[in-house]
Structure 1
Amino acid sequence: MGSSLSSQPELPEVDLKGKVIIVTGANAGIGYETAKSLAQMGAKVILACRSETKALGAIDRMKQEHNEEQEVKGRSKVKSQVEELDLVYMNLDLGSLASTTNFAESFKVRGTPLHALICNAGMAYGPDEPSVDGLEIHFQVNYLSHFLLILQLLPVLKSSGPNSRVVLVASLAYRFARWNEEDIQGTNENKTTIYSNTKLYQIMQMLALERRLEGSGIGIFSVHPGIVETELVKREGQRIPMMTSFFARLGMSTHFLRNPFKGALTTLHAVANPIYDGKTALYFENSKPHSLTSLPRDRWKQEHLWKYSVECLRNYITEDMLDIFTS
């Protein structure tokens, strides 16, 4: 889901040497291009993925592509700052709150700074069965586990600033969400609405965090990558609604879809463009800040979602994690 292919501003040359960045779901699609480009800019990039095999395969491909691009001037999509890419795999299964906690703890044990957290992983039209935690699976993978990850890593982001950033890969689909405080997880909704709701929640989370992190030096952004040709619209056997499938296939046949790098470009602007230093709570479309509709800006709904989310995570968060918002 998304908007038309209007022009995107070019990304300025950026040197990220010395920066550490986590990208969830970095083994394919937008996440792959995001991780590769940030590593080419000089960052150490943590690929936070569920499948070790796919993640290590992605790392090998990134390094091979980088070496090939180095041999031909102008072939690289971003200005490369390094000869070799610094890429690390760490296991993260967002379908499990325990796995999400283990990832955060394992990262903190490393003792490295964290300059950016990119919450890119997501799913649509997945199984009807709940997660291992008994939660609606799209709600957990797209939104709640990322919420937990942010809470657990905020102290590291705060100490690594100024200008540390959290980037939430949301979607224009938030405009098709249906707010129901009696059914936040959307267990009685169709898959298209559930997906849209999770993207709405990411944007509302950004705005709730903005208030709580004022003066912290952490920038919170959300982005709509556009209609992107990823595995989601190619995958065989998924129960994608007829009209959604039709428009996805139409996009591919008419070249309306963005390739994954063009989709990643909006994320790259949000995480690396220095013009956004000191900024926060920006929503991006076509690599530029864009206005939001009234629904995600409703403060009462933001706070209702925040309290509900904290309650869902009561066994995985501590008072210390929430104290950062008062310190």
Structure 2
Amino acid sequence: MPYSETAHYHVVAEFLSTLSNIRGGLGTLFVPFLPAMRLPDVDLRGKQAIVTGANSGIGFESAKELAKMGARVILACRNAERGEQARREIAQAARVEWQKWGARDLKRVDILINNAGSVSNVLTKTRDGLEYAYQSNHIAHVLLTLLLINREYLAPDARIINVSSIAFFSCPPMDEHNTDSSDIMVNHREGDNLPWDTIVKIYDRSKASQAVWSMTLQRKLAGSEKWKDTVVQVCHPGIVQSSMINQPTGLGGATGSGVDAFKRFVGMVGMSNEQGAVVPVWLATAEEPGQPDLRGLYWDR
């Protein structure tokens, strides 16, 4: 049963949200002392999966695990060269291929992991006029998912796993004026270097959008006869030592005491990409998260 919009009074919802944030934060501190999580032994032969951002990080490890389970995996990558390199590295585990979208007919998609994400230290607009991180972290996944649904490429019992972040708990209330960070774009010119607090604010909003949309999508699909068996989940995979930390156009190019402290924190408690992939892959393959009363939820490692 997906989250109900009227399950709690506003003050109760805020209290529960605060408790979740505290629990998640404390849990992060203990990750280095906890045993590694393991995935169930699942046979995915005959299944097809799409993983976005599959050329590196959590996306790469998720694609590799799904391939090991026997799934046919499509690596949805922005960069063809990096996608081909990822394919070669994963090919020893199972059949994985890179092809341009639309180069062949798709079979039905059983698993969709919307993982691709980015963070930018300069204000960048896409050709659609949207803030870059908002589009890559959220809007692009909305478009991909809806295209698969509307064109009926998605299996009726498919699982849609959206990778968000515990960071969205720090996000202030959002509305039509700030969800896409247009309020920030008004005060900065494209190409401006962004201060640390603004970088965080943009990222948090994009991940909050991903979480809210996931729950809304589950409610919509649950009310449709055709898609009532589709499972939508959103998750925080954990604090991961991903490549985003050092990318020159991302946090690697940001300066200031805030970003330095964050990098030190990630260095102390951050987990490997392999462990970061466990939660989304578990949600995509295990029996428990497919139960009707556990659909449309936010899962924290």
Q: Which TM-score band applies after superposition, normalised by the shorter structure?
A: 0.7 to 0.9
Cα pair distance change 1:195/1:90, threshold 3 Å:
farther
Residue 180 of structure 2 aligns to a residue in which SS? coil
Partner Cα distance (2:46, 2:256) in 1: 45
CA deviation profile, 1:90-136 (whole Å, cap 9, x unmatched): 45xxxxxxxxxxx4xx27x6140100111100101243121011111
Match of 2:165 in 1: 171
Q: Does 1:283 align with 2:291?
A: no
For the 8 Å contact 1:127–1:137, the answer to whether it is kept is no
In structure 2, give the amino acid aligned to 1:22.
I
Residue 40 of structure 1: which of 46, 55, 68 is its match? 68
CA contact (8 A) 2:239 2:271 kept: yes
Does the 8 Å CA contact 2:219/2:296 hold for their aligned counterparts? no
Match of 1:87 among 83, 91, 96: 96
Q: Deviations over 1:228-262 (max 9, x none)?
A: 0111112345225532332223432x3x2100010
Instruction: Give the Cα separation in 2 of the matches to 1:41 and 1:133.
Output: 38
> TM-score, structure 1 length as denominator?
0.71
Q: Report the 3-state secondary structure (helix = DSSP H, G, I; strand = E; otherwise coil) of the residue aligned with 1:160.
A: strand
Aligned counterpart, 1:116: 111
Cα 1:199–1:241 change in 2 (3 A) is farther
Change (3 A) 1:258 1:175: same
Correspondence for 1:199: 207
Aligned to 1:129: 124
* Cα separation, 2, equivalents of 1:116 and 1:269: 12
SS in 1 for 2:270: coil
Checking the alignment, whether the CA contact within 8 Å between 2:37 and 2:278 is kept in structure 1 is no
Sort the Cα spacing of 1:205 and 1:241 in 2 relative to 1 into closer, same or farther, 3 A: farther
C-alpha contact 2:37 2:275 (8 A) present in aligned 1: no
- The residue identity in structure 2 corresponding to 1:245 is D
Q: 1:222 aligns with which of 234, 250, 273?
A: 234
Counterpart code for 1:229: Q
Q: Hey, what's the Cα distance between the residues in 2 that align with 1:126 and 1:154?
A: 34
1:52 equivalent to 2:66? Answer no
Pick one of 32, 44, 62 that aligns with 1:16: 44
Structure 1 residue 211 and structure 2 residue 219: aligned?
Answer: yes
1:173-193 CA-partner distances (Å, limit 9, x unpaired): 110112342222113341211
Give me the whole-angstrom Cα distance separating, in 2, the residues matched to 1:88 and 1:135.
31
- Cα 1:129/1:155, change in 2 over 3 Å: closer
Please list every run of 5 or more consecutive structure 1 residues that lacks an aligned counterpart in the other structure: 67-84, 92-102, 287-327
- By relative contact order (CA 8 Å, sep 6+), the higher-ranking structure is 2
Match in the other structure for 1:62: 90
Equivalents in 1 of 2:48, 2:121: separation in Å?
Answer: 31
Q: 1:159 to 1:224 in 2, by over 3 A?
A: closer
Counterpart-to-counterpart distance in 2, 1:155 and 1:285? 30
1:270 aligns with 2:298: no
Pairs aligned (count)? 250
- Aligned to 1:55, the other structure's residue is in SS state helix
Q: For 1:88, give the aligned amino acid.
A: E
Deviates further, 235-244 or 133-142 = 235-244
The aligned counterpart of 2:261 is 246
State the secondary structure of the residue aligned to 2:149.
helix
Structure 1 letter corresponding to 2:200 = T
Change in Cα spacing, 1:26 to 1:241, as seen in structure 2 (3 Å) is farther
Code of the residue aligned with 1:86 in structure 2: it is R
Between the aligned residues of both structures, percent identity stands at: 29
* Preserved contact between residue 179 and residue 197 of structure 1 (Cα < 8 Å): no
What is the rounded CA distance, in whole Å, between the counterparts of 1:140 and 1:43 in structure 2? 28
SS at match of 1:161: strand
One-letter code of the match for 1:249? R
Q: 1:35 to 1:141 in 2, by over 3 A?
A: same
TM-aligned CA distance change 1:244 to 1:115, over 3 Å: same
Tell me how far apart the structure 2 counterparts of residues 240 and 207 of structure 1 sit (CA, whole Å): 35
* Contact in 2 for aligned 1:174/1:199 (Cα 8 Å): yes
- Residue 63 of structure 1 deviates from its aligned partner by 2.7
Distance in 1, matches of 2:44 and 2:243, equals: 29
Contact 2:237/2:277 (CA < 8 Å) preserved in 1? yes
In 2, the alpha carbon distance for the partners of 1:12 and 1:45 equals: 18
Structure 2, unmatched stretches of 5+, are: 1-23, 185-197
